[in-house]
Amino acid sequence: MEENKKEGFLDVFIQFIKFGLVGVSNTIVSGVIYFLLNTVILPGVWIVASVVSWVISVLWAYFMQNIFVFKEDKNKEHRVWWQTLIKTYMTYAFTGLILNNILLFLWVNVIDIAQYSGAIISFFARIHIGFLGDAATFSSNMGWFINMIISIPLNFFINKFWAYRQKGGNK
């Protein structure tokens, strides 16, 4: 009789931390490829650099998540690699390309986060730290940050329970 192991909170939390570490490596891969393409190989053709870096970074994420995060359970049905790869691209297309841009539009153009952050912007301007930029730049940067708080856990759960899910309890 085989033991049916249930994942506990700690198991899922450790898996989420591994997912985050893969995400950091994925960001580095994406940034290096984007920088090389946009500055060395195809200077100024940023749209090509953006698309190519996204395609390669999602492929990187797929391999790293298979190895370190969502390992196959040998007691369950084997995942079909190309289906998992397509689902991974669909997940990141949804959260990274569609959802993040819709939310960013809302944060900047509808809600206008800067209107609620005037004191923060003024404080940094007074101490001569201008990296926050003007109100519109601040709104878009804060929107990007809020999007990460939303999209990282969402990516984790979509990948865990859809893209990398294995069916069945036994082979």
Read off the pLDDT of residues 79-123 as tens digits, 9 standing for 90 and up: 999 999 999 999 999 998 899 889 988 988 898 887 777 666 666
Q: Are residues 25 and 80 in the same domain?
A: no
**Cα(152)–Cα(89) distance, rounded to whole angstroms?**
15
Tens of pLDDT, residue by residue, the chain (171 residues)? 344 467 889 999 999 999 999 999 999 999 999 999 988 898 878 889 889 999 999 999 999 999 999 999 888 999 999 999 999 999 999 998 899 889 988 988 898 887 777 666 666 666 655 555 666 677 777 888 888 899 999 999 999 999 999 987 654
Assess whether 40 and 81 both reside in one domain. no
Residue among 35, 39, 34 nearest 54 (CA)? 34
> Do 102 and 125 fall into the same domain?
yes
What span, in angstroms and rounded, lies between the C-alpha atoms of 155 and 94? 9
Domain count, the chain: 2
State how far the alpha carbon of 58 is from the alpha carbons of 24, 68, 83, 92, 153, in Å: 12, 15, 14, 7, 16
| Residues 153, 88 share a domain | yes
Which is nearest to 155 in space by CA: 80, 76, 61, 66? 61
Q: Which domain holds residue 2?
A: 1-71
| Contact (Cβ atoms closer than 8 angstroms) between residue 139 and residue 113 | yes
